[in-house]
Protein backbone atom coordinates (compact mmCIF):
# COMPACT_ATOMS: atom_id res chain seq x y z
CA UNK A 1 0.00 0.00 0.00
CA UNK A 2 1.44 3.35 -1.06
CA UNK A 3 1.68 5.99 1.70
CA UNK A 4 -0.81 8.80 1.34
CA UNK A 5 0.57 12.14 0.34
CA UNK A 6 0.80 14.77 3.07
CA UNK A 7 1.08 18.51 3.04
CA UNK A 8 4.58 19.80 3.79
CA UNK A 9 4.28 22.60 6.36
CA UNK A 10 7.97 23.37 6.03
CA UNK A 11 7.19 24.99 2.69
CA UNK A 12 4.74 27.49 4.18
CA UNK A 13 6.22 30.98 4.47
CA UNK A 14 5.72 32.28 7.98
CA UNK A 15 5.62 36.04 8.46
CA UNK A 16 6.54 38.12 11.53
CA UNK A 17 3.62 38.71 13.84
CA UNK A 18 4.51 42.41 13.90
CA UNK A 19 3.35 42.67 10.26
CA UNK A 20 -0.19 41.50 11.02
CA UNK A 21 -3.11 43.90 11.24
CA UNK A 22 -5.22 43.02 14.29
CA UNK A 23 -8.76 43.82 15.29
CA UNK A 24 -8.33 43.79 19.08
CA UNK A 25 -5.80 45.55 21.33
CA UNK A 26 -5.72 44.65 25.02
CA UNK A 27 -4.77 48.13 26.28
CA UNK A 28 -7.71 49.63 24.41
CA UNK A 29 -10.25 46.82 24.59
CA UNK A 30 -9.82 45.23 28.03
CA UNK A 31 -12.78 45.31 30.39
CA UNK A 32 -12.18 46.95 33.77
CA UNK A 33 -13.47 44.62 36.53
CA UNK A 34 -15.02 47.67 38.21
CA UNK A 35 -16.88 48.80 35.07
CA UNK A 36 -20.67 48.97 35.47
CA UNK A 37 -22.56 46.39 33.37
CA UNK A 38 -25.79 47.24 31.63
CA UNK A 39 -28.78 47.08 33.95
CA UNK A 40 -30.97 43.99 33.99
CA UNK A 41 -34.37 43.36 35.49
CA UNK A 42 -36.95 40.65 35.91
CA UNK A 43 -35.99 36.97 35.49
CA UNK A 44 -32.39 37.76 34.49
CA UNK A 45 -31.79 39.70 37.70
CA UNK A 46 -33.29 36.92 39.81
CA UNK A 47 -31.15 34.32 38.04
CA UNK A 48 -27.96 36.36 38.47
CA UNK A 49 -28.66 36.73 42.19
CA UNK A 50 -29.25 32.98 42.43
CA UNK A 51 -26.01 32.13 40.60
CA UNK A 52 -23.96 34.42 42.83
CA UNK A 53 -25.45 32.83 45.94
CA UNK A 54 -24.77 29.34 44.60
CA UNK A 55 -21.14 30.24 43.86
CA UNK A 56 -20.71 31.68 47.36
CA UNK A 57 -22.22 28.55 48.93
CA UNK A 58 -20.13 26.20 46.79
CA UNK A 59 -16.90 27.95 47.75
CA UNK A 60 -17.85 27.87 51.43
CA UNK A 61 -18.30 24.09 51.11
CA UNK A 62 -15.09 23.66 49.07
CA UNK A 63 -16.96 22.40 46.01
CA UNK A 64 -15.98 23.07 42.40
CA UNK A 65 -16.83 26.35 40.72
CA UNK A 66 -15.86 25.92 37.07
CA UNK A 67 -16.08 28.48 34.28
CA UNK A 68 -15.69 27.12 30.75
CA UNK A 69 -15.69 29.60 27.89
CA UNK A 70 -15.16 30.03 24.19
CA UNK A 71 -12.43 32.22 22.75
CA UNK A 72 -14.60 35.35 22.53
CA UNK A 73 -14.48 35.72 26.30
CA UNK A 74 -10.75 36.36 26.00
CA UNK A 75 -10.95 38.22 22.68
CA UNK A 76 -13.55 40.58 24.16
CA UNK A 77 -11.02 41.68 26.78
CA UNK A 78 -12.54 39.92 29.78
CA UNK A 79 -9.27 38.50 31.07
CA UNK A 80 -9.00 41.15 33.82
CA UNK A 81 -12.49 40.28 35.10
CA UNK A 82 -11.65 36.58 35.28
CA UNK A 83 -8.33 37.47 36.91
CA UNK A 84 -10.08 39.52 39.59
CA UNK A 85 -12.46 36.64 40.32
CA UNK A 86 -9.52 34.26 40.69
CA UNK A 87 -7.65 36.68 42.94
CA UNK A 88 -10.78 36.95 45.11
CA UNK A 89 -11.05 33.17 45.44
CA UNK A 90 -14.30 32.72 43.50
CA UNK A 91 -13.20 30.14 40.93
CA UNK A 92 -11.60 26.72 41.25
CA UNK A 93 -11.13 25.89 37.56
CA UNK A 94 -11.14 27.63 34.17
CA UNK A 95 -11.36 25.86 30.81
CA UNK A 96 -11.24 27.07 27.22
CA UNK A 97 -10.58 25.85 23.70
CA UNK A 98 -7.40 26.14 21.66
CA UNK A 99 -8.34 29.56 20.29
CA UNK A 100 -8.83 30.92 23.80
CA UNK A 101 -5.29 29.82 24.64
CA UNK A 102 -3.96 31.60 21.54
CA UNK A 103 -5.81 34.90 22.03
CA UNK A 104 -4.66 35.10 25.65
CA UNK A 105 -1.06 34.44 24.58
CA UNK A 106 -1.11 36.97 21.74
CA UNK A 107 -2.52 39.65 24.02
CA UNK A 108 0.29 38.90 26.51
CA UNK A 109 3.08 38.81 23.91
CA UNK A 110 1.96 41.34 21.29
CA UNK A 111 -0.74 43.33 23.06
CA UNK A 112 -3.06 42.58 20.12
CA UNK A 113 -4.95 39.65 18.60
CA UNK A 114 -7.70 38.70 16.10
CA UNK A 115 -6.62 38.87 12.48
CA UNK A 116 -8.86 39.44 9.46
CA UNK A 117 -9.76 35.88 8.50
CA UNK A 118 -11.36 36.28 5.06
CA UNK A 119 -8.75 38.72 3.81
CA UNK A 120 -5.83 36.69 5.15
CA UNK A 121 -7.06 33.33 3.85
CA UNK A 122 -7.27 34.94 0.40
CA UNK A 123 -3.69 36.20 0.71
CA UNK A 124 -2.41 32.91 2.16
CA UNK A 125 -1.31 34.55 5.40
CA UNK A 126 -4.07 33.48 7.79
CA UNK A 127 -2.53 31.69 10.75
CA UNK A 128 0.91 31.72 9.14
CA UNK A 129 2.60 33.92 11.74
CA UNK A 130 5.97 32.94 13.05
CA UNK A 131 5.89 33.85 16.74
CA UNK A 132 2.42 32.47 17.51
CA UNK A 133 3.15 29.09 15.95
CA UNK A 134 6.73 28.93 17.17
CA UNK A 135 6.41 29.88 20.82
CA UNK A 136 3.07 28.24 21.65
CA UNK A 137 4.13 24.99 20.02
CA UNK A 138 7.55 25.12 21.69
CA UNK A 139 5.93 25.68 25.09
CA UNK A 140 3.63 22.68 24.51
CA UNK A 141 6.49 20.48 23.28
CA UNK A 142 8.57 21.27 26.35
CA UNK A 143 5.60 21.15 28.71
CA UNK A 144 4.53 17.72 27.49
CA UNK A 145 7.97 16.35 28.35
CA UNK A 146 7.94 18.02 31.76
CA UNK A 147 4.48 16.62 32.53
CA UNK A 148 2.55 19.88 32.22
CA UNK A 149 -0.89 20.37 30.76
CA UNK A 150 -1.89 22.43 27.72
CA UNK A 151 -2.96 25.63 29.49
CA UNK A 152 -0.34 25.12 32.18
CA UNK A 153 2.50 24.97 29.62
CA UNK A 154 1.50 28.25 27.99
CA UNK A 155 0.60 29.91 31.30
CA UNK A 156 4.03 29.06 32.72
CA UNK A 157 5.78 30.55 29.68
CA UNK A 158 3.80 33.79 30.01
CA UNK A 159 4.25 34.06 33.76
CA UNK A 160 7.97 33.26 33.72
CA UNK A 161 8.59 35.04 30.39
CA UNK A 162 10.91 32.24 29.38
CA UNK A 163 11.29 28.61 28.42
CA UNK A 164 13.91 26.17 29.74
CA UNK A 165 15.51 24.41 26.75
CA UNK A 166 17.10 21.03 27.51
CA UNK A 167 20.16 19.86 25.64
CA UNK A 168 20.02 17.10 23.05
CA UNK A 169 22.37 15.01 25.20
CA UNK A 170 20.10 15.43 28.22
CA UNK A 171 17.13 14.20 26.21
CA UNK A 172 19.02 11.25 24.72
CA UNK A 173 20.11 10.17 28.20
CA UNK A 174 16.57 10.54 29.47
CA UNK A 175 15.16 8.45 26.62
CA UNK A 176 17.54 5.61 27.35
CA UNK A 177 17.30 5.75 31.14
CA UNK A 178 13.50 5.86 31.33
CA UNK A 179 12.58 3.58 28.41
CA UNK A 180 12.14 0.46 30.55
CA UNK A 181 10.44 1.94 33.62
CA UNK A 182 8.59 4.90 32.11
CA UNK A 183 8.20 4.43 28.35
CA UNK A 184 5.65 7.24 28.07
CA UNK A 185 8.05 9.85 29.45
CA UNK A 186 10.77 8.32 27.30
CA UNK A 187 8.59 8.81 24.23
CA UNK A 188 7.85 12.42 25.25
CA UNK A 189 11.58 13.08 25.52
CA UNK A 190 12.16 11.49 22.11
CA UNK A 191 9.44 13.68 20.62
CA UNK A 192 11.04 16.81 22.06
CA UNK A 193 14.44 15.64 20.80
CA UNK A 194 13.04 15.39 17.28
CA UNK A 195 11.71 18.95 17.56
CA UNK A 196 15.03 20.33 18.79
CA UNK A 197 16.85 18.57 15.96
CA UNK A 198 14.56 20.28 13.46
CA UNK A 199 14.75 23.65 15.24
CA UNK A 200 18.19 23.92 16.87
CA UNK A 201 18.05 25.91 20.09
CA UNK A 202 20.79 26.72 22.55
CA UNK A 203 20.24 24.83 25.84
CA UNK A 204 19.30 26.91 28.84
CA UNK A 205 16.90 29.77 29.48
CA UNK A 206 15.21 31.18 26.38
CA UNK A 207 13.88 34.65 27.13
CA UNK A 208 10.37 35.25 25.77
CA UNK A 209 9.20 38.69 26.95
CA UNK A 210 5.47 39.16 27.55
CA UNK A 211 5.02 42.90 28.19
CA UNK A 212 1.25 42.56 28.73
CA UNK A 213 1.30 39.44 30.92
CA UNK A 214 -0.67 41.19 33.68
CA UNK A 215 -3.71 40.85 31.42
CA UNK A 216 -3.21 37.09 30.96
CA UNK A 217 -5.73 34.73 32.50
CA UNK A 218 -3.47 31.72 31.88
CA UNK A 219 -0.55 33.39 33.67
CA UNK A 220 -2.74 34.50 36.58
CA UNK A 221 -4.12 30.99 37.00
CA UNK A 222 -0.62 29.51 36.86
CA UNK A 223 0.65 31.97 39.47
CA UNK A 224 -2.28 31.26 41.80
CA UNK A 225 -2.17 27.49 41.29
CA UNK A 226 -5.69 27.37 39.82
CA UNK A 227 -6.22 24.85 37.01
CA UNK A 228 -6.61 26.53 33.62
CA UNK A 229 -7.13 23.79 31.07
CA UNK A 230 -6.98 23.92 27.29
CA UNK A 231 -9.21 21.61 25.23
CA UNK A 232 -8.12 21.79 21.57
CA UNK A 233 -9.20 19.82 18.53
CA UNK A 234 -6.69 18.79 15.90
CA UNK A 235 -6.60 21.17 12.96
CA UNK A 236 -8.87 23.76 14.59
CA UNK A 237 -6.21 26.30 15.55
CA UNK A 238 -3.62 28.34 13.69
CA UNK A 239 -0.70 26.77 15.55
CA UNK A 240 -1.21 23.64 13.43
CA UNK A 241 0.07 25.59 10.42
CA UNK A 242 3.57 25.90 11.88
CA UNK A 243 6.11 23.07 11.40
CA UNK A 244 7.05 23.35 15.10
CA UNK A 245 3.65 21.75 15.78
CA UNK A 246 3.93 18.17 17.12
CA UNK A 247 0.85 15.98 17.49
CA UNK A 248 2.31 13.75 20.18
CA UNK A 249 3.13 16.68 22.46
CA UNK A 250 -0.27 18.28 21.91
CA UNK A 251 -2.00 15.01 22.69
CA UNK A 252 -0.08 14.50 25.93
CA UNK A 253 -0.67 18.03 27.18
CA UNK A 254 -4.35 18.06 26.17
CA UNK A 255 -5.00 14.66 27.74
CA UNK A 256 -3.47 15.84 31.00
CA UNK A 257 -5.79 18.85 30.93
CA UNK A 258 -8.85 16.74 30.18
CA UNK A 259 -8.11 14.54 33.19
CA UNK A 260 -7.50 17.60 35.38
CA UNK A 261 -10.83 18.98 34.22
CA UNK A 262 -12.56 15.66 34.89
CA UNK A 263 -11.15 15.68 38.42
CA UNK A 264 -12.78 19.06 39.01
CA UNK A 265 -16.09 17.71 37.69
CA UNK A 266 -15.71 14.82 40.16
CA UNK A 267 -16.23 17.44 42.87
CA UNK A 268 -19.13 19.23 41.17
CA UNK A 269 -21.81 17.84 43.53
CA UNK A 270 -22.90 20.93 45.43
CA UNK A 271 -20.87 23.02 43.00
CA UNK A 272 -21.46 25.33 40.05
CA UNK A 273 -20.61 24.94 36.37
CA UNK A 274 -20.85 28.02 34.14
CA UNK A 275 -20.52 27.64 30.37
CA UNK A 276 -20.07 30.88 28.42
CA UNK A 277 -20.25 31.04 24.65
CA UNK A 278 -19.14 27.48 23.97
CA UNK A 279 -21.36 25.50 21.63
CA UNK A 280 -19.16 22.40 21.32
CA UNK A 281 -16.13 22.21 23.61
CA UNK A 282 -17.77 22.82 26.97
CA UNK A 283 -20.80 20.49 26.67
CA UNK A 284 -18.75 17.72 25.08
CA UNK A 285 -16.01 17.56 27.71
CA UNK A 286 -18.54 18.02 30.51
CA UNK A 287 -20.74 15.07 29.56
CA UNK A 288 -17.81 12.63 29.33
CA UNK A 289 -16.28 13.88 32.55
CA UNK A 290 -19.56 13.75 34.44
CA UNK A 291 -20.15 10.20 33.24
CA UNK A 292 -16.74 9.11 34.55
CA UNK A 293 -17.28 10.97 37.82
CA UNK A 294 -20.74 9.47 38.20
CA UNK A 295 -19.25 6.04 37.61
CA UNK A 296 -16.86 6.49 40.53
CA UNK A 297 -19.61 7.90 42.73
CA UNK A 298 -21.94 4.97 41.97
CA UNK A 299 -19.16 2.48 42.71
CA UNK A 300 -18.85 4.12 46.14
CA UNK A 301 -22.59 4.00 46.81
CA UNK A 302 -23.27 7.69 46.16
CA UNK A 303 -24.39 9.90 43.28
CA UNK A 304 -23.76 13.35 41.80
CA UNK A 305 -27.11 15.11 41.85
CA UNK A 306 -26.79 18.52 43.48
CA UNK A 307 -24.91 20.39 40.76
CA UNK A 308 -25.96 23.64 39.14
CA UNK A 309 -25.28 24.40 35.45
CA UNK A 310 -25.66 27.87 33.95
CA UNK A 311 -25.33 28.25 30.19
CA UNK A 312 -24.73 31.80 28.96
CA UNK A 313 -24.97 32.73 25.29
CA UNK A 314 -26.44 35.33 22.92
CA UNK A 315 -28.81 32.97 21.11
CA UNK A 316 -32.48 33.43 21.92
CA UNK A 317 -34.24 30.57 23.69
CA UNK A 318 -37.74 30.88 25.14
CA UNK A 319 -37.81 27.27 26.32
CA UNK A 320 -37.86 26.43 30.03
CA UNK A 321 -35.05 23.89 30.14
CA UNK A 322 -36.11 22.68 33.58
CA UNK A 323 -38.94 20.93 31.71
CA UNK A 324 -36.53 18.77 29.74
CA UNK A 325 -35.95 18.94 26.01
CA UNK A 326 -38.34 20.86 23.75
CA UNK A 327 -40.13 19.11 20.89
CA UNK A 328 -38.32 18.93 17.57
CA UNK A 329 -40.56 21.60 15.99
CA UNK A 330 -39.37 24.15 18.56
CA UNK A 331 -36.31 26.17 17.41
CA UNK A 332 -34.81 25.82 20.89
CA UNK A 333 -34.41 22.09 20.26
CA UNK A 334 -31.54 22.94 17.91
CA UNK A 335 -29.55 24.83 20.54
CA UNK A 336 -27.40 21.74 20.82
CA UNK A 337 -25.37 22.87 23.80
CA UNK A 338 -28.51 23.55 25.85
CA UNK A 339 -29.87 20.15 24.91
CA UNK A 340 -26.61 18.49 25.96
CA UNK A 341 -26.51 20.23 29.33
CA UNK A 342 -30.21 19.58 29.98
CA UNK A 343 -29.36 15.86 29.98
CA UNK A 344 -26.70 16.21 32.68
CA UNK A 345 -28.92 16.08 35.77
CA UNK A 346 -28.81 18.60 38.59
CA UNK A 347 -30.32 22.01 37.84
CA UNK A 348 -29.68 23.69 34.49
CA UNK A 349 -30.58 27.28 33.57
CA UNK A 350 -30.05 29.29 30.41
CA UNK A 351 -29.28 33.00 30.35
CA UNK A 352 -29.28 35.00 27.14
CA UNK A 353 -26.69 37.69 27.83
CA UNK A 354 -23.52 39.26 26.48
CA UNK A 355 -20.46 37.71 28.12
CA UNK A 356 -19.16 41.12 29.25
CA UNK A 357 -22.36 41.97 31.10
CA UNK A 358 -22.65 38.53 32.62
CA UNK A 359 -19.16 38.36 34.11
CA UNK A 360 -19.35 41.93 35.41
CA UNK A 361 -22.74 41.27 37.00
CA UNK A 362 -21.52 38.03 38.58
CA UNK A 363 -18.31 39.51 39.91
CA UNK A 364 -20.04 42.56 41.39
CA UNK A 365 -22.73 40.45 43.03
CA UNK A 366 -20.08 38.22 44.56
CA UNK A 367 -18.26 41.27 45.89
CA UNK A 368 -21.55 42.46 47.34
CA UNK A 369 -21.86 39.31 49.48
CA UNK A 370 -18.82 40.45 51.47
CA UNK A 371 -20.51 43.54 52.86
Overall average pLDDT of the 64-73 stretch:
97
Residues 300 and 313: their CA atoms lie apart, in Å, by 36
pLDDT for the residue numbered 371: 40
Q: Are 187 and 144 in contact (CB under 8 A)?
A: no
Backbone angles phi, psi at 333, to 5 degrees: -60, -30
Residues 83 and 215: their CA atoms lie apart, in Å, by 8
pLDDT for the residue numbered 335: 86
Overall average pLDDT of the 56-69 stretch:
98
pLDDT for the residue numbered 322: 80
Q: Is the pLDDT of residue 370 over 80?
A: no
- Minimal CA–CA distance to 305: which of 348, 334, 361, 244? 348
Over residues 216-227, the pLDDT tens digits come to: 999 999 999 999
Over residues 286-324, the pLDDT tens digits come to: 999 999 999 999 999 999 999 999 999 999 888 888 888
DSSP state of 237: S
Over residues 102-115, the pLDDT tens digits come to: 999 999 999 999 99
pLDDT for the residue numbered 128: 96
pLDDT for the residue numbered 109: 98
Q: Looking at per-residue confidence, does 346 or 336 come out higher?
A: 346
Overall average pLDDT of the 325-350 stretch:
91
pLDDT tier at 369 (50, 70, 90 boundaries)? low
Amino acid sequence: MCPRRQFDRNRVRMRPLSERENRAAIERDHVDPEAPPRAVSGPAEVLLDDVAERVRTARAKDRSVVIAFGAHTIKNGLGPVLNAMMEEGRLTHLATNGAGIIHDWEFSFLGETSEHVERNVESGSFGNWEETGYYINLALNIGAWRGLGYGESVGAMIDQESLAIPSADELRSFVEASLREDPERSAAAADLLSVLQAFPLKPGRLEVPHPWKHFSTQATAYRLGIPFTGHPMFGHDVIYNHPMNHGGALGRAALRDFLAYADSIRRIDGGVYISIGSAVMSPMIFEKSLSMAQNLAKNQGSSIRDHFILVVDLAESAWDWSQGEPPEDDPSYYLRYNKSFSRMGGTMKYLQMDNRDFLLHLRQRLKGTES
